[in-house]
Structure 1
């Protein structure tokens, strides 16, 4: 490939350095052992200066590609310097034979002439014949110098024949050689290798290479994550990152290997696509170079803790309600989207070029009158090209702009891939979607049909989004395209989260989640406002792109869009209500005591109708599940089901499909059946221990666990028994359940033991039986990939809680304090907020605390309540990324509510003090 820069880098004078190193040799002729450390020290100084000047160049120009090219050229000159020093002074061949020559060849990304500040150095030592003692010494000398300088070197020493043989059998080596570039040594040797490589390896294997690279890309994305909109992206290996551009580059070189000074990408891209490729590559290289300099290592992941600093280095500023870091990340995701567009278009084009042009039987069948091909040709402005949907004429969208929506509907209806030429034409036609188009009644009807399709609306909408049609047609949605929120809770950009939520709702409707989501699967076919639900889900987060409360502002946007799409006034009002209150059900289920009748009455008064209850549940489930991996779990599902079942009778006038008493009786009967081998008296005693709400909020598996733990507690006469597991139906979450005698300081002790163990509590379910046994479950943030390691960690925590609760060991306060001083993610700020509410419960005062999550937070709060002489009746612990929302139902002296204003002020003040420590 073409070299990026052909002049030496400005970091040092090669001739001057050669003289300096030669002087070291002369001065150390009598003591060579002193010479090498001196050379290494000088080269380390040179490397440090080059790195500093490269960073200064990056900060001055803002051009990462120039920085990477300059670093690659510095590396070239450094390797030449080391090689010449080795051959001239260390292992000089006075009369070199034909075998005592070599070519130093850069391969991979370094061969292309681009090198990130902390990149590996990929080298090929190319030999004419077999290895000689001289050649072995030179290779070792070069490598040892580079290693001493701190470089990680990927290297190989091969003859031309060995190189070609390796390239034929190993696709990775073949790919690396596509960017092979002579650094130093025998040019004739390198040219021989290159010519034989192109003619003997590349020639005639284009189809094989393309298939291998596309398969390799799919495998890589499985490891890195399929979505390019993950909010902590890997800029090198992730979808839409530099590796995707590398794949396109390699395909271009393979199809056009001639070194004629032209970029190989010109062979497969249009002029505008070449410009897009260069723009994307420039941006990603700029981000990568900054990231390496910022972290001081070969870091490729844009993690939350570096994103704000990256935004600052790249000179982004807060604007229009978006933080500087959010504007930077939105730019990143727009670039990733452009990379995705290029990848999809080019890979599809290349794939099509590999198809046989000879007609097959299926081609003849496709021409029959009843075939999809004939049907599409007869009824639309589209046609099939190699089983992909294409347009009949290049002016198909200009003549009828509605085809910009019909195209996606047709692709979904017939389950067809889209032709790259058609997608290129769609992107070039986006200006046809203007205000008149958006007001067109037929356009809105078509879009609503697609949004509410019973086939695959997520796929169609994603294609519309990637091509730009969705954001143009629904500008309210367009503002949140590629937008991220700077928090740890949401794993995807706003638009990606929304599309995934629509896909989840569609899959619920198809019955694909019958086991995981039994209630949602049951009620979705009973709803009367299906269109309103899908519109609400599309619009529920769009207002995050504008200033103000996104739920309130989003409700108005949803109402407007719903009416434009053709929904009735009542349906539009329902969609707006769902958007305005789309967080309310999850907040109630996770942060309130839903066994308290007052909580249920308040929730029922708010929802007002059975239809709204169903719609809100479905929207809530789809929304939470689409937040990201591990956010949804069976516990949350059980809480939502309990809230639904307890609210439904109040809204249905006492008439419900499954009355509460019937559900309780059925739960007890199921448990008796499972425990039929137990003595009936033991089962009866366990059942009598629990309040009625236990049977509707606790699933059968957990009931069995609780029964076994209580049985162990009684028979073993232990101070505490516990169980640990990673067994959630959706994603294994480490959890610890324990049974012990209840007492006021139990939460303080257990939370302190967890904090001292370095565990971060994600959720907690604190319960007490009628006869005074504490039955508590703690869910922890995962620390390990392997479940066995998680369980081992939980076992240690269980032993620590046992020791502290039993009094066998005092709580290590110093260790808890040291952990408390280390916030989990100091890149975030969560302003502390304390709400003290006496209306949410008839018997207790509800204290709700919002704060930055950190180890020891629950312990601190429990200690604070203990100091204030507050008795915790129940606690509801939840984390949303970096934000903790902990809700406590408490009573003061005499088991009374806290109503005195002075006391409430003192409680608020002490909690704020500990949060601000």
Structure 2
């Protein structure tokens, strides 16, 4: 006997007995998943049944029943689930007796601290409310008797189901709209770092909606894998309830490792990947089901008119329009031609997919399943037609996504590209990324399709976009692993040796341009020469430029901007010149602009800082440019401590530094002797609110330089006031000496969690090491700061290797403290 069966009858009948048995059940290590949910529902049924029997006797009520609806009706009780209950009565008892009966049932539930969603109605009232409220009707579709008059419940179920089926042409579009609105609010579960297992698209709500569609008899969902996906989501919710002790459906970051352990999974990534797989199954079934619903509803509305036009004759068969060899369009979907022979035509899956994407139509579920079941594998290397169809599919733009997902749902993608399995549904922990790895790769190909007119080999661009992060399924540097995989894949799909080498180079160095442009000094000849040596040819550089933009656009809104684009374009222009034979010359000290010279003269005359702010904008989709930041010019007599002081003042005024350039110029003083003036040209943006006035910035900078403004103390107060997410631990900072052939400076690269005053702390550490900062290249990617500092010794020369390493270690130790 189980532990529940050993409890006494007296204990079982009371609230305390139920609570104790419930607790034992939830703590049983050997019982989880569907068996535990079923046992919890049975335990709750038994308790409520006894409670109902006693209550009806005390209230003197007959002709009543207690009905479980919603999740409880389906027997899907998670540890902290609400109890959805309907007290159904035939109307024979007076209102006072019914109210007394309800109180005797509801109050014991509340006394145990259980969440309760309750109602009291006659069958007629229940039917009327269901007719007015779609959510109530959906709940009643899962009505299940717990205790009382079974005939009363059976009658209600029969009536509600009949109403649902009769009203399906009206109700199903309402349900579809409800699901779409919810998806718009909650997002797609399969791409969220902190998904709502119930409300997000592809979650438990959508799985329940598919049951409702099936109950209408109008259409049915693809059943393969759907029950298992639902079980995985419910198991994850059970574990989440047990770990948190709360009735929550949101899988927060700080709880994912504990939930994974509760489920016996390796880690949080394994948990998310399993949840994403389940959500993808539900989302795909949702897409197919609603498409079928609207097709059936459209056909129902068209057929009577056609019969009338034909004089009551037989409705003609749907037209089939040819799209490609063996592929036709029918009823707004891509299907296989009647004469198609998938078992003899291994290219047919790619040809059908390319035709569907090019025509902007979905590929039918039946067609995809037939292709998956009967098509022979492609020979290796692929024939030219297969390779061309893949390129056509990738180059179709936004419509590629839906077709790709249909092929992936039936296993065709991993059959064509076996390495795809390692990136399938793989989460990306960096919040800059919008998508999972596999969807990001498809999105990159979609973005690349709009850039194909810029390159001479669009086929290589599209394939490289699809493969550029393929190494993320392997340990180590994903670019290095991806290069090897890309070579194998490109050779398999039939590219020649030269093209394989180009694709491998693009994958290996897909981050080269963006990282160099935003983190290195482009005026340093060694920077440009090193990029040219890696790229090797103008054609490869052209492809790498387009791939860089496609990758960034497919990553998320924080990864690309006109400013980043201009930096990359500037780098590409310089590298192009080197590849054309123009060796980069040693840079001459740039003459200050007229405004910089004016500010420098004023600073030299007054002996104090002089500032100027200029708002900048970049083009937008509308008529007016969008403000993206401010150019901040600062001139002051050359002196120690300028970088930490200026960075600290900007942090106090909530200004984010995007780029920084520092240099010293010599100007004649009033005595005729040259004096040094430090020029700082920074690009900054307000975190929120309006920009501060230049006069306030200048006043605080003066105070910071003379020591009357304690920036570290002020920033410490700010940091203490910032909310921190409990349980989320950022990876430790990392400081390295970047490899470079620069003869101008040593490059110190800092990667750390972005925080108010980070640049101030770095500048203060460099200043205390008696180093001069020639320039700073600052970038923020989500919560991560990646900053590069070109530094020299007091003599203006690069640091010796040992001193550079010591500086990096000291800076890292300071940031970790």
TM-score by length of 2: 0.81
Q: State the partner residue of 1:572.
A: 500
Q: How does 1:305-704 map to 2 (within 5 A)?
A: 305-317=254-266, 324-354=267-297, 355-356=299-300, 358=303, 373=319, 375-376=321-322, 380-393=325-338, 396-429=341-374, 432-434=375-377, 436=379, 439-452=382-395, 456-509=399-452, 524-525=453-454, 527-653=455-581, 685-686=594-595
Q: State the partner residue of 1:110.
A: 72
Q: Does 2:69 match 1:69?
A: no
1:487 to 1:840, Cα distance in 2 relative to 1, 3 A = same
Please say if residues 344 and 376 of structure 2, whose CA atoms lie closer than 8 Å, have aligned partners that are also in contact.
no
Task: Show CA shifts across 1:224-262 (max 9, x none).
Answer: 225733444332223332222111111122339xxxxxx
Q: Does 2:1 match 1:10?
A: no
Q: Does 2:809 match 1:909?
A: yes
- Whole-angstrom distance in 1 between the partners of 2:494 and 2:752: 43
Q: Secondary structure in 1 aligned to 2:196? A: coil
Q: How does 1:83-232 map to 2 (within 5 A)?
A: 92-93=58-59, 96=61, 102-129=64-91, 132-139=95-102, 142-143=105-106, 145-147=108-110, 149-199=112-162, 201-226=163-188, 228-232=190-194
- Whole-angstrom distance in 2 between the partners of 1:763 and 1:546: 35
Task: Show CA shifts across 1:733-766 (max 9, x none).
Answer: 9968766555654543465578789x7x976322
Shift of 1:498: 0.4
Q: State the partner residue of 1:659.
A: none
Please say if residues 343 and 376 of structure 2, whose CA atoms lie closer than 8 Å, have aligned partners that are also in contact.
no
Task: Show CA shifts across 1:824-846 (max 9, x none).
Answer: 68656746543225845443321
Tell me, which stretches of 5 or more residues in structure 1 are unaligned?
Answer: 1-6, 22-41, 257-266, 318-323, 366-370, 510-523, 657-663, 669-683, 692-710, 783-789
Q: How does 1:245-260 map to 2 (within 5 A)?
A: 245-255=207-217
- Whole-angstrom distance in 2 between the partners of 1:910 and 1:305: 31
- Whole-angstrom distance in 1 between the partners of 2:473 and 2:732: 21
Shift of 1:124: 2.9
Q: How does 1:713-724 map to 2 (within 5 A)?
A: none
Among 276, 282, 286, the residue aligned to 2:231 = 282
- Whole-angstrom distance in 2 between the partners of 1:419 and 1:505: 26
Q: Does 2:249 match 1:304?
A: no
Q: State the partner residue of 2:658.
A: 764
- Whole-angstrom distance in 2 between the partners of 1:164 and 1:816: 62
Please say if residues 118 and 297 of structure 1, whose CA atoms lie closer than 8 Å, have aligned partners that are also in contact.
yes
Among 870, 873, 876, the residue aligned to 2:777 = 876
Shift of 1:500: 0.3
1:390 to 1:453, Cα distance in 2 relative to 1, 3 A = closer
Q: State the partner residue of 1:672.
A: none
Shift of 1:767: 4.0
Q: How does 1:732-811 map to 2 (within 5 A)?
A: 744-749=640-645, 752=648, 764-767=658-661, 772=678, 774-778=680-684, 790-791=688-689, 806=703, 810-811=710-711
Please say if residues 231 and 490 of structure 1, whose CA atoms lie closer than 8 Å, have aligned partners that are also in contact.
no
- Whole-angstrom distance in 2 between the partners of 1:82 and 1:723: 74
Please say if residues 67 and 147 of structure 2, whose CA atoms lie closer than 8 Å, have aligned partners that are also in contact.
yes
Q: Secondary structure in 2 aligned to 1:358? A: helix
Shift of 1:156: 3.3
- Whole-angstrom distance in 1 between the partners of 2:123 and 2:557: 48
Q: Secondary structure in 1 aligned to 2:559? A: coil
Please, what is the CA RMSD of the aligned residues? 4.7
1:158 to 1:582, Cα distance in 2 relative to 1, 3 A = same
1:875 to 1:822, Cα distance in 2 relative to 1, 3 A = farther
Please say if residues 756 and 816 of structure 1, whose CA atoms lie closer than 8 Å, have aligned partners that are also in contact.
no
Residue range with higher mean Cα deviation, 825-834 or 607-616 = 825-834
Q: State the partner residue of 2:587.
A: none
Q: State the partner residue of 1:850.
A: 751
Q: State the partner residue of 2:314.
A: none
- Whole-angstrom distance in 2 between the partners of 1:617 and 1:636: 12
1:418 to 1:810, Cα distance in 2 relative to 1, 3 A = same
Please say if residues 12 and 47 of structure 2, whose CA atoms lie closer than 8 Å, have aligned partners that are also in contact.
no
- Whole-angstrom distance in 2 between the partners of 1:329 and 1:229: 9
Q: State the partner residue of 1:890.
A: 791
Task: Show CA shifts across 1:843-888 (max 9, x none).
Answer: 3321112345556544432332233233333322334455442211
1:74 to 1:733, Cα distance in 2 relative to 1, 3 A = farther
- Whole-angstrom distance in 2 between the partners of 1:390 and 1:138: 59
Shift of 1:473: 1.1
Shift of 1:542: 1.3
How many residue pairs get aligned? The number is 779
Task: Show CA shifts across 1:273-320 (max 9, x none).
Answer: 546222212211111111222233233333433333333333334xxx
Q: State the partner residue of 2:30.
A: 60
- Whole-angstrom distance in 2 between the partners of 1:844 and 1:102: 86
1:394 to 1:330, Cα distance in 2 relative to 1, 3 A = farther
Residue range with higher mean Cα deviation, 459-468 or 419-428 = 459-468
Please say if residues 397 and 450 of structure 2, whose CA atoms lie closer than 8 Å, have aligned partners that are also in contact.
no
Please say if residues 103 and 186 of structure 1, whose CA atoms lie closer than 8 Å, have aligned partners that are also in contact.
yes
Task: Show CA shifts across 1:793-829 (max 9, x none).
Answer: x879998997586457533639728948998686567
Residue range with higher mean Cα deviation, 761-770 or 384-393 = 761-770
1:85 to 1:589, Cα distance in 2 relative to 1, 3 A = farther
Residue range with higher mean Cα deviation, 767-776 or 645-654 = 767-776
Q: Secondary structure in 2 aligned to 1:117? A: coil
- Whole-angstrom distance in 2 between the partners of 1:655 and 1:904: 28
Please say if residues 744 and 872 of structure 1, whose CA atoms lie closer than 8 Å, have aligned partners that are also in contact.
no
Residue range with higher mean Cα deviation, 242-251 or 556-565 = 556-565
Q: State the partner residue of 2:241.
A: 292
Q: Secondary structure in 2 aligned to 1:886? A: strand
Please say if residues 210 and 289 of structure 2, whose CA atoms lie closer than 8 Å, have aligned partners that are also in contact.
yes
